[in-house]
Amino acid sequence: MAKAGARPLSRPARSAQAGAERRRSARAPFVVRVDYGTVDAFFSEFTSDVNEGGMFIETETPQPPGAAVVLQFRIPGSDSPIRVRGRVVWTSAERASQTPGMGIEFENLDARARAKINAVVRRLRAQPE
């Protein structure tokens, strides 16, 4: 079951404070399409919040905490997609003030992919707002 097209970001990304206490690394905003699958479904959404430890996927239909997902996304400046397994660690469905979605923690991000993500995050943080 495929989700017909992902919606563009129409609301500001969720508050950086929400979930910040759970993060090991700071995140940087950039919009990337993320294709992900669960045991019985495939989806395509957007993320605007990523670091080497995980990402927030904006979706009206988040998977439940603990759900395993397989992700594929391409970061800016990269020729090949990053493929990684992850697990849903929280959702914002019950928080009306936040963009609906789910926080994913990467489980097997290799060193090369981690370095690519870190380079983009560092570059984005260095840019003046």
Give the tens place of pLDDT for each residue, 22-81: 545 555 567 889 999 988 889 999 887 888 899 999 998 899 999 999 999 998 778 889
> In degrees rounded to 5, what are phi and psi of residue 33?
-75, 135
* pLDDT tens digits for range 18-27: 444 454 555 5
Cα–Cα dist 36/34, whole Å: 6
Residue 12 domain-assigned (yes or no)? no
Determine phi and psi for 118, rounding to 5 degrees.
Answer: -60, -40
The answer as to whether 35 is a domain residue is yes
- The answer to the question of residue 15 being in a domain is no
pTM of the model: 0.71
What CATH number should be reported for the domain holding residue 63? 2.40.10.220
> Helix, strand or coil for residue 68?
strand
- pLDDT of 13 above 50: no
Range of the domain at 99: 25-126
Q: Which band of pLDDT confidence, cut at 50, 70 and 90, is reported for residue 7?
A: very low
Domain count of the chain? 1
| Beta-carbon count within 10 A of 105 CB | 16
